[in-house]
Amino acid sequence: MWQNLADTLDTLGGVYEKLTALGKRKHEALVGINMTGLAKILDEEQKLTTEVRKLEQKRLALLKELSKTNTTAIEPTRVNDFYRSAPSHVMTENLIRLHQRLSESVNAATKISNENQFLAKCALDAVQNKLNRLSGATVEPTYSGSGGDIVSHQKKFDFKA
């Protein structure tokens, strides 16, 4: 079962590394306003996040099962201390190394995801601003009750004419 956990950690780290690489491609697509490329990237991202979800469930189930056999493990036990209860020193070192790789991969994927989220929000704000200008909208010098801008539109067409 320990080897199964090591394999799961290894696979999970690899998937997060793929998510990080995909996030970099997504960043380029967002900067270049490449919507067809972005759509393909979002499809790939959805598949990878589904795979992460399944692997996380498997990892948690394995940890729960292994903790049943380890009587010294309690809920606040640190993961490195838990890995030290593996049957061999080699397995312990491998699990710690794989866990460290997974942590670094998750941090990198989270960082690029946050950057892309900010970039996408800015792009959407720019599109909204451009659409407002095209429609003749003006932003009032006050804010709405919810703290947002108050936008009014000029009457461009008279449909009753």
Q: Give the pLDDT of residue 2.
A: 80
Q: Give the pLDDT of residue 51.
A: 93
For 66, residues 6+ apart whose C-beta sits below 8 A from its C-beta are 1, 2, 5, 73, 82
Q: Give the pLDDT of residue 138.
A: 64
Q: Give the pLDDT of residue 71.
A: 56
Q: Is the pTM of this model over 0.85?
A: no
**Which domains are assigned to the chain?**
2-153 (1.20.58.300)
Let me know the angle formed at the C-alpha of 156 by 151 and 161, rounded to the nearest 5 degrees: 140
Give the side-chain half-sphere CA count within 13 A for 111. 10
Q: Give the pLDDT of residue 55.
A: 92
Rounded CA separation 58/142 (Å): 52
Rounded CA separation 129/56 (Å): 41
Amino acid at 34: N
Which secondary-structure segment (H or E) carries 152?
strand 149-153
Q: Give the pLDDT of residue 111.
A: 94
Q: Give the pLDDT of residue 129.
A: 73
Find, among 124, 70, 80, the residue nearest to 100 by Cα: 80
Q: Give the pLDDT of residue 52.
A: 93
Q: What parts of the chain have a pLDDT lower than 70?
A: 70-77, 79-81, 132, 135-161
What pLDDT digit, counting tens, does each position of 70-102 carry?
A: 655 555 657 666 777 777 888 888 888 888 898
